[in-house]
Structure 1
Amino acid sequence: MENYFDIIFSQVNITLSVLLIILIIYWIITMISGLDFDLDIDVDIEVDADIDMDMDTGIEGGSMDFSDVANAEVDREHVVNKGTRKLKWWQIILIYFNFVGIPFMFTFTFWIFTWWIISVLTTVITFSYDNSFGFVIVLLALIPSLFLTKIVTTPFKAFFKNLNKDGDKAVDFLGREAILLSNISGEKLGNAEVNVDGNIMNIYVRSLDGTALTFRESVLIIKQSNDKNYFFVSKS
């Protein structure tokens, strides 16, 4: 047993081993505890001028579910360049290896686990888990791990396509009342909670006409955005 620990936490394999342990703890907390972590920060991230992606999380008084990160899905239209220019190389990689169209953390976990398995087994077979050649093997293992991840995760595409971000069948939110979990105005996105048959669900919202709406204010869900990522709301 001690020898196994020496191999898993050797200088060659320790990085992937620690990362895998963190991911396991992450999923355990997400699936069992269902903890919500409230973030009182305002973050607007613009990722490259050529990418149509705008993220706004945890505005004043707002909250972000711990599970939101696990279920966050990068849609194909979010990584496609505006205009007619070709996709960049890293955008093509994201799409090809299923980091797009499936919850990112789901694919990422499969990738790290596959990479770790290949690295550990190969370094054991070649007795290189404690020498510099092992680092070369770990780097080379990245490539086959990506292809194996693509093979394993591809069947899940159809599954996740029919689910919402919480893993349930899609809910019709239109016409329902919601409570704002953040201040919103103009084109700013925020969070809101909706009571659906006794279940509290979090959704992303935006003011219908740009009117300022405040934290804990009751609003009415009017319609869904064209990309289906958020809902337009107005005073109820």
Structure 2
Amino acid sequence: MFSGIDLDLDVDVDIDADVDMEVENGLESGNIDFQDVSNVEVDRQHVVNKRTRNLKWWQVVLIYFNFVGLPFMFTFTFWIFNWWLISVITTTLTNNYNTSFGYAIVLLAILPSLFLTKIVTVPFKSFFKNLNKDGDKAIDFIGLEAKLLSTISGEKMGNAEVIVDGNVMTIYVKSLDTSELKFHEKALIIKQSEDKNYYFVAKPNLN
């Protein structure tokens, strides 16, 4: 549902997890946008604990059932559809509607639907691997003007909208001199952070 809604919200989420999960050019600890999560493509290095380099059981499950290596929402959609399909066919054949056994079938269908999802998504691996394998050309935002989508000051991070070649893009920004920059105010992108997760912005020089 969230993946289909265009939300211009600055959502601050405190993440308290024992696994260091990192997505390139998208997330900084404590700041997550719904659109970032729904569109993310998870790679193996994103689900590996950076301290131990060991995989946990749920990470192995993600990799085994092709949630890793393919766009997450792509595999997730296949899984939900297969789960629904197996549930409908089984309850129809057994004529168990609105019964405890029928509800049990729905729950038990989770596992076979995962294996079916693994089978049907395997052919797409080579397709997505060769699709734009060289990646998108990096965009140089330095020197461009951005419109703030939230008020920022001090160490607070916010979102800003930048138009490049007619395309609207959203980036994470901080105030260069920690002064307050207000919502919908124009700002000039000065430089990128060392971890390359956000940009420093300042009020444009009008002189």
Q: Which residue does 1:218 correspond to in 2? A: 187
**1:233 corresponds to 2:181:** no
Among 108, 116, 129, the residue aligned to 1:158 = 129
Aligned CA distance change for structure 1 residues 122 and 173 (closer, same or farther; 3 Å): farther
- What RMSD, in angstroms, separates the aligned Cα atoms of the two structures? 3.5
Task: In structure 1, give the amino acid aligned to 2:188.
Answer: V
Aligned CA distance change for structure 1 residues 56 and 184 (closer, same or farther; 3 Å): farther
Q: Which residue does 1:201 correspond to in 2? A: 169
Q: Which residue does 2:148 correspond to in 1? A: 180
Task: In structure 2, give the amino acid aligned to 1:122.
Answer: T
Q: Which residue does 2:20 correspond to in 1? A: 51
Q: What SS is found at the alignment partner of 1:44?
A: coil
Q: What SS is found at the alignment partner of 2:105?
A: helix
Q: Which residue does 1:135 correspond to in 2? A: 103
Structure 1 residues 77-130: Cα deviation after superposition (integer angstroms, max 9, x where no partner): 332213126222112222322333444333222211110001111111122233
Q: Which residue does 1:71 correspond to in 2? A: 39
Cα distance in 2 between the residues matched to 1:79 and 1:208: 31
Aligned length: 190
Cα distance in 1 between the residues matched to 2:191 and 2:72: 29
Gaps of 5+ in 1: 1-22, 58-63
Aligned CA distance change for structure 1 residues 67 and 52 (closer, same or farther; 3 Å): closer
Task: In structure 2, give the amino acid aligned to 1:56.
Answer: N
Cα distance in 2 between the residues matched to 1:221 and 1:55: 23
Among 79, 86, 97, the residue aligned to 2:54 = 86
Cα distance in 1 between the residues matched to 2:181 and 2:141: 20
Q: Which residue does 2:8 correspond to in 1? A: 38
- Percent sequence identity is 46
Contact 2:193–2:200 (Cα < 8 Å) also in 1: no
Structure with more of its chain in strand, by fraction: 1
Higher relative contact order (CA 8 A, sep 6+): 1
Q: What SS is found at the alignment partner of 2:109?
A: helix
Q: What SS is found at the alignment partner of 1:218?
A: strand
Gaps of 5+ in 2: 23-28
Contact 2:190–2:199 (Cα < 8 Å) also in 1: yes
Cα distance in 2 between the residues matched to 1:74 and 1:184: 32
Aligned CA distance change for structure 1 residues 150 and 163 (closer, same or farther; 3 Å): farther
Structure 1 residues 206-231: Cα deviation after superposition (integer angstroms, max 9, x where no partner): 449784562434132644776x7x34
Cα distance in 2 between the residues matched to 1:106 and 1:77: 19
Q: What SS is found at the alignment partner of 1:148?
A: helix
Residues 78-87 or 68-77, more deviating:
68-77
Contact 1:71–1:106 (Cα < 8 Å) also in 2: no
Q: What SS is found at the alignment partner of 2:31?
A: strand
